[in-house]
Amino acid sequence: MKHDKLESIISIALRAGNFIRLHYERGDFGVSEKMDSHDLVTNIDNESQKIIQEELKARFPNISIIGEEDKTFSKKDHAFIIDPIDGTLNFVKKIPLFSVSIGYWKDNLPLCGVVYDPLRNDIFYARKKYGAYLNGKRLQLSENNSNDYKVLASDWGHEPSLYNKNILAMQQLTKEKSFLFRFLGCASLAICYVAAGILDGYWHYKLSPWDMAAAALIAQESGASILSLDGSEFDLWGDSILAVPVELKEKVLEAFKQVN
């Protein structure tokens, strides 16, 4: 993989993010529902995806693109996988936690990824085997984090059938009295916060590929463990994810085994 892919993705994410920030500040966007009243899309999602797709097609015409706002999509072994606004509900409700996410995968392996927070101007990025970075600073998880309290994050998603699983998981994790919880509403940023050591873990029972494609590599390259909630190898097309520092992996996994 040539280095220009990551450099291109960074510049494209910045362009889309600047567009999103402008309309967030103006508040001039239209909102419609997808499947339910909590699964929203705005015209800014669609325009952001258009910006990203057009730039990627111009630079890499032979590589497929999978975007959240596509009407249909199929699994591709070689593709850019994009979320034009991860955290659309936050965007609509003026909760300042959302991002642009662009991942590049080939042969079911992540090769590079970018997650851009346009409000904080934070850009997380990684290239496989070259490390993860935040605004140019290397991210490297330490195993010597001795804080008494560990903060884990998750999100509820859009399926009520999974709410009870999340509650049971928190009950199991609460037995380890050091765990506290937050719900951010933006999976890509939350996973990147694990990479940065801001959060001590993130889980979700059902995410789409575009929610994880970039952030999973960023967390992995920082030294975090990335796996499915049943403890198996992480699968981009397999819904669930657990991102956690290596030293907490077994303790957290044991709680999910009790739920499952």
Does one domain contain both 124 and 100? yes
Residue 176 located in a structural domain = yes
What's the pLDDT score for residue 34? 64
Structure tokens at 82: 């994009």
Residue 144 located in a structural domain = no
Domain end marker among 139, 174, 195: 139
Residue 186 located in a structural domain = yes
Q: Which residue has the higher pLDDT, 33 or 211?
A: 211
Does one domain contain both 101 and 226? no
What's the pLDDT score for residue 162? 84
pLDDT digits 0-9 by tens, 187-207:
999 999 999 999 999 999 999
Residue 50 located in a structural domain = yes
Does one domain contain both 188 and 107? no
> What whole-number percentage of the chain has pLDDT above 70?
93
Domain end marker among 75, 107, 139: 139
pLDDT digits 0-9 by tens, 110-137:
999 999 999 999 999 999 999 999 999 9
pLDDT band at 69 (very low <50, low <70, confident <90, very high): confident
Does one domain contain both 129 and 165? no
Domain end marker among 80, 109, 139: 139
What's the pLDDT score for residue 38? 60
pLDDT digits 0-9 by tens, 35-58:
655 667 889 999 999 999 999 999
Does one domain contain both 119 and 77? yes
Does one domain contain both 10 and 135? yes
pLDDT digits 0-9 by tens, 139-158:
999 765 556 789 999 998 77
| Residue 69 structural domain | 4-139
Does one domain contain both 99 and 156? no
Does one domain contain both 87 and 113? yes
Alpha-helix residue ranges (DSSP H) falling in 111-237: 163-174, 187-195, 209-212, 215-222
Residue 16 to residue 68: CA distance in whole angstroms: 15
Residue 239 has pLDDT above 80, yes or no: yes
Looking at residue 233, which CATH number applies to its domain? 3.40.190.80
What's the pLDDT score for residue 1? 40
Does one domain contain both 209 and 247? yes
Residue 229 located in a structural domain = yes
**Number of domains the chain is built from:** 2
Residue 93 located in a structural domain = yes
Does one domain contain both 210 and 113? no
Looking at residue 125, which CATH number applies to its domain? 3.30.540.10
Beta strands in the chain (DSSP E): 31-33, 40-42, 64-67, 78-86, 99-106, 109-117, 122-127, 131-134, 137-139, 150-154, 179-183, 202-204, 224-227, 241-245
Residue 145 located in a structural domain = no
Residue 187 located in a structural domain = yes
What's the pLDDT score for residue 71? 66
Does one domain contain both 118 and 22? yes
Does one domain contain both 181 and 70? no
pTM recorded for the entire structure: 0.93
Residue 12 has pLDDT above 70, yes or no: yes
Asked if 111 contacts 9 with a C-beta cutoff of 8 angstroms, the reply is no
